[in-house]
Amino acid sequence: MTILHQFAGGNALVPAGTAWYLADLGELRGKQELYTRQSPQRLKALREHALIESAVSSNRIEGIQVEPRRIVDLIHGTPLLRDRDEEEVRGYRDALTLIHAQGAGLPVAQETIRRLHALTRGEIWDAGKYKERDCDIIERYPDGSERVRFRTVPAADTPAAMVRLIDANQRCGEEGWIHPLPGVSRDMIRRVLADERGKSVDCVGRGPGANRRDAQSG
């Protein structure tokens, strides 16, 4: 939230390294349609691997440990759960699956956030609810030491903070505080235009600067 408010006030800059990463992501997103058509199995394998790595890394921060040989079954199978840690990993898997399957249609809203929280918490009493007591994210190391990884908003301030966060996120997109990633790939645009060539749209010229005109106008 702090970063979004810095952007809102014009006091934040995107680091050069981050800008390069965003450019790379934008380029790859422009190729996604091509990858989907040409290498669907490779893309599926990469998605499954990313799902495993994300679930394991995120839960490890909170001290949740699962036997390595059980990870694949928990993420991609339906084994009987042995303990609470495995339930946490399975819930995180369910939340990520929802995002991957319906991400484009999920609004950034309190209802969505509570729904994702409910999935990750499983049958725990606070599933889908904002916290009722203060708690920070503590990272614990094998030697027994620990540190505060994230200092969170106090419980009493959480509902109001969420309202401000969602509002800031919406304004970020509407006012263009930072450059968004492209929503439609170049390959998709090319395919649509190719389908329409000779029907309703003709290409005039070549290259990125080519113009399109109504085919009926001559």
Q: How high is the pLDDT of residue 183? A: 55
| Whole-Å CA distances, 47 to 37, 144, 176, 195 | 15, 34, 29, 30
Contact yes or no for 212/201 (Cβ under 8 A) = yes
Higher pLDDT, 177 or 106: 106
> What is the C-alpha to C-alpha distance for residues 204 and 211, in angstroms, rounded to an integer?
5
Sign of the torsion formed by the C-alpha atoms of 104, 108, 109 and 114: positive
Task: Tell me the pLDDT band of 143, cut-offs 50, 70 and 90.
Answer: very high
**Residues 147-185: tens digit of each pLDDT:** 998 889 999 999 999 999 999 989 888 888 877 667 554
Position 215 pLDDT exceeds 80: no
**Residues 51-89: tens digit of each pLDDT:** 888 877 777 766 777 887 888 888 888 888 888 888 888
**Model pTM?**
0.65
Q: How high is the pLDDT of residue 156? A: 95
Sequence ranges of the domains in the chain: 19-183, 184-218
Instruction: Give me the CATH topology for the region 19-183.
Output: Fic-like fold (1.10.3290)
Task: Tell me the pLDDT band of 212, cut-offs 50, 70 and 90.
Answer: very low
> What is the C-alpha to C-alpha distance for residues 89 and 52, in angstroms, rounded to an integer?
9
Residue 208 CB: number of other CB atoms within 10 A?
A: 6
> What is the C-alpha to C-alpha distance for residues 159 and 167, in angstroms, rounded to an integer?
13
Q: 9 — phi, psi (to 5°)?
A: -90, 0
